[in-house]
Structure 1
Amino acid sequence: TGKAFRTRVEDLGLVHHRIPPRSPNHNSVCERFHGTVLREFYRPHFHRGRVENIDLLDRSLQAWLVDYNHHRPNHGDYMAGRTPVQVKKQLRRRIRQTAA
């Protein structure tokens, strides 16, 4: 990855993980999420009309992401009706228990 990208990621306090080569299962999770954003946010949003203000579009997307992460249950085998925040909390608990 480029130096500017790494610097920006660090400035935002994020951790960037690269997926291993030839690992389509890792990539499929990202692709599925992008499809969900397209289907549930962008298409309905643009169907309602023309976007004149990119800041308003971004605020709407951020609100959708909060709802997705905190309130919308996911029904895949791994998620089993949990939200992403619930999964993250359970993983953190499990890591703390293992470390203790």
Structure 2
Amino acid sequence: RRQHNLKINKKKVYRLCKELGILGKPVKPKHSYPRRLANNMEVTGPNQLWQMDIKYGFIAGLERYFYTASIIDVYDRSVVGQYRGKESKTEDLLTTLHKALLKRSVYTQGTPLVVRTDNGPQFKSHKFRAFFENNEMLIHERTPNRTPNKNAYIESFHSILERECFRCHIFMSFEEAFDVLDQFMDFYNNRRIHMSLYGYSPAQFIEKLEKNEVTAFKIAV
């Protein structure tokens, strides 16, 4: 317009491009996985609310990252499932989740389980949605944007993992990192005490709870 004193606008550009056959193909809108927002709820026992998230660690010897996805039971603080690998694909997370559900007999329990995540691409994928749609005992919630407090228990665990495991080691290989992580998870679930669990580890607390040797409580999240 300024250089050549042309009378032109977007409609004229569209018409000229159409006549010349150089119009780009229209972009089809992508329909994203609709989000069920994390709701306030009261947790009164295990297998009512799990929180799931992804974290990465660093392999100094290779200058590469590895990924770990953890699932924590909000009530008894057990890490019921964990994936670690060089990638973090939706299929890997679903396999980890499925194994945890089998281990804790969730498929056969009488009440639904809520699995809460953030809005990472794996958790927004159609494969992740389909997994929950095909399992009526499962409900998937995603936290609102910029609200890590809605996923506080898994965020707290990953803080512990960073402070007590990752910062204490310099990993030279994937195998070394995975071995150290496995050892830490055995310690966390079976021996690391939690004052919120009457000073017991998650495994010890579950055993005491099943024998009615500790008082049950409620958690508002």
- The two structures have a TM-score, normalised by structure 2, of 0.33
Distance 1:5 1:80, change over 3 A: same
Give yes or no for the alignment of 1:82 onto 2:200: yes
Choose 19-28 or 34-43, whichever is displaced more.
19-28
Letter in 2 for 1:55: E
- The two structures have a TM-score, normalised by structure 1, of 0.64
Cross-structure match for 2:91: 4
Cross-structure match for 2:115: 18
Q: What percent identity do the matched residue pairs reach?
A: 21
Letter in 2 for 1:79: L
Letter in 2 for 1:86: Q
Where 2:169 maps in the other structure, the secondary structure is helix
Where 1:14 maps in the other structure, the secondary structure is helix
Matches within 5 A, 1:1-100: 4=91, 8=95, 9-10=97-98, 13-15=99-101, 17-19=114-116, 20=141, 27-46=151-170, 51-75=171-195, 78-93=196-211
Deviations 1:39-98 (A, max 9, x none): 00001113xxxx2211111011101111111112112xx31211010122234446xxxx
Contiguous gaps of at least 5 residues in structure 2: 1-32, 34-89, 102-112, 117-140, 213-221
Distance 1:66 1:5, change over 3 A: closer
Distance 1:92 1:28, change over 3 A: same
Larger radius of gyration: 2
Cross-structure match for 1:97: none
User: How many positions carry a matched residue from both structures?
Assistant: 86
Q: RMSD over aligned Cα, in angstroms?
A: 3.1
The structure with more strand, counted as a fraction of residues: 2
Letter in 1 for 2:91: A
Contiguous gaps of at least 5 residues in structure 1: 95-100
The structure with more helix, counted as a fraction of residues: 1
